[in-house]
Amino acid sequence: MSATVEPKTVAPGDGGPLNGPERTFRYSPINYLRRYGAAGLVLLNLTCFFILWELFARAEVVSPLFLPRASDMFRTLFEGLSPGGIILQHVFYSMRMFSIGMLAAAAVGIPIGLLMGASKVMDSIFSPYVWAMAALPRVALMPLLILILGFSDSAKFTLIFLSAIFPIIINCMAGVKTVDQSLVRAGQVFGASKTDLYRKVIFPFTLPFIISGVNQGMTRGLVGLVIAEIFGGNKGLGYLTTRAAQSFNPALLYAVLLVLVVFSLGFVQIVKIIETKAAPWRNYGS
């Protein structure tokens, strides 16, 4: 953490001659193990898991209808994801719906959240609706949406949008409201105008909140996506799970679930990386 500030304490004779506060040292195998060992352990763990699964399924302790062999699942997965495969087109469809819904939720939610944080009037106008909608399980809206919009893409898009937007609004609002008052005071002392304060102090302070709002919105949006696809239509990963179950194809069902896990983790991970890049100070005690 403070590597740039204090010289590293190194056991004598560990590296080169100590002339300045810094010196380089070489990695020993143990250093490598400490650094990359965790990743190796995860790999080993997962391999064991799938092997046990395979053995368990082959023993047919559970009906193969509920638990396919891991190898079957992987075969279906690779076939399905190869060009022209059955899973791939649905992945693309779901990803497109999800991206459009998320972009719209962010584009609308961030400004509303920032406004609510900055202005008491805006807050009191919007907050009853925001909190009511945030409290309502969004799934309950699906029948209504189908009634209005039918089994259409716009019904799905609306559910994703509504699922994702409220965590975004609430986080943006919290960011502006919790802005460090001494930073605002510093801005004022050094002559910042109201606009300057928003641009140079409050917005940068809120940025990590915005990102984590988008992150939470994504997990909620994904739930919205799958539920909307299960409810209706004939496209998307959610639809594919119901189809696999109805056609007694457990290998396909498990493969789609795995794709969803990767899908979700991938998005969350990307946002996490953006967060650490955008606000490195957040990982420290300030």
**For residues 26 and 194, which CB has a smaller minimum distance to other proteins in the complex?**
194
Closest distance to other proteins from the beta carbon of 276 (Å): 13
**For residues 74 and 203, which CB has a smaller minimum distance to other proteins in the complex?**
203
CA angle centred on 36, ends 265 and 38, rounded to 5°: 55
Closest distance to other proteins from the beta carbon of 182 (Å): 4
71 Ramachandran zone, left/alpha/beta (phi>0; psi -120 to 50): alpha
Cα–Cα distance between 162 and 108 in angstroms, integer?
A: 11
Cα–Cα distance between 167 and 113 in angstroms, integer?
A: 10
Closest distance to other proteins from the beta carbon of 132 (Å): 27
**For residues 63 and 181, which CB has a smaller minimum distance to other proteins in the complex?**
181
Cα-only R_g, the chain: 25
Closest distance to other proteins from the beta carbon of 19 (Å): 16
Residue that the structure tokens 């498990």 belong to: 254
Q: Which spans of this chain sit near other proteins (rule: CB under 8 A)?
A: 1-2, 4-5, 180, 182-183, 185-193, 196, 200-201, 204-205, 207, 279-281, 284-286
**For residues 63 and 283, which CB has a smaller minimum distance to other proteins in the complex?**
283
**For residues 1 and 135, which CB has a smaller minimum distance to other proteins in the complex?**
1
Q: Are 160 and 105 in contact (CB under 8 A)?
A: yes
Closest distance to other proteins from the beta carbon of 157 (Å): 34
Cα–Cα distance between 86 and 93 in angstroms, integer?
A: 12
- Listing DSSP states for 211-262 in one string gives HHHHHHHHHHHHHHHHHHHHHS-S-SHHHHHHHHHHTT-HHHHHHHHHHHHH
Closest distance to other proteins from the beta carbon of 4 (Å): 5
Closest distance to other proteins from the beta carbon of 124 (Å): 16
**For residues 26 and 277, which CB has a smaller minimum distance to other proteins in the complex?**
277
Q: For residue 195, give the amino acid letter.
A: T
**For residues 21 and 128, which CB has a smaller minimum distance to other proteins in the complex?**
21
Give me the sign of the Cα torsion angle 192, 194, 198, 199.
negative
Residue 185's alpha-carbon distances to 194, 202, 284, in angstroms, are 12, 11, 23
